[in-house]
C-alpha cells in the first residue's frame, strides 16, 4: 500500500486510490508537513487537500513532461467543446 507522502510536488501521476477504483490522473500542487493539495482530473478538475498518510492502492505511473503536454492538449480540447457560447440575436 502506498500513500500521498510518496508523491512529488508538481508531478502528474496515474493512480488507483482503492482496489477496483478507476484509474485517476492527479497532480500534486502544494505540500505542507502533513498534507498535499491535489488536483484530480476527471470530466472537470477537482482540487482537494489530502493527508500524506491517506492510502493509495497503486501508483501506476509518473508521467513525464512530454506525456503531460500530450494529455493537456487532449483534455483541453475536450473542455472547449462544453465551453462555447451561442450568439444571442
Whether the per-residue pLDDT at 32 is higher than 90: the answer is: yes
Whole-prediction pTM: 0.81
Angle at 65 between CA 35 and CA 39, to 5 degrees: 30
Q: Would you say residue 87 has pLDDT above 70? A: no
Q: What is the extent of the structural domain holding 17?
A: 2-80
Q: Could you tell me if residue 85 is inside a domain?
A: no
Report the C-alpha gap between 42 and 68 in whole angstroms.
15
pLDDT of residue 21: 94
Q: Find out whether 38 and 29 touch, Cβ atoms under 8 Å.
A: yes
Mean pLDDT calculated for residue range 42-71: 95
Amino acid at each position: 500500500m502506498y500513500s500521498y507522502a510518496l508523491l512529488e510536488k508538481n508531478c502528474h501521476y496515474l493512480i488507483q486510490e482503492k482496489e477496483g477504483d478507476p484509474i485517476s490522473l492527479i497532480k500534486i500542487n502544494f505540500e505542507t508537513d502533513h498534507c498535499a493539495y491535489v488536483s484530480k482530473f476527471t470530466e472537470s478538475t477537482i482540487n482537494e487537500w489530502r493527508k500524506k498518510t491517506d492510502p493509495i492502492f497503486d501508483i501506476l505511473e509518473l508521467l513525464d513532461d512530454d506525456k503531460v503536454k500530450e494529455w493537456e492538449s487532449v483534455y483541453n480540447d475536450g473542455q472547449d467543446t462544453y465551453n462555447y457560447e451561442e450568439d444571442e440575436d
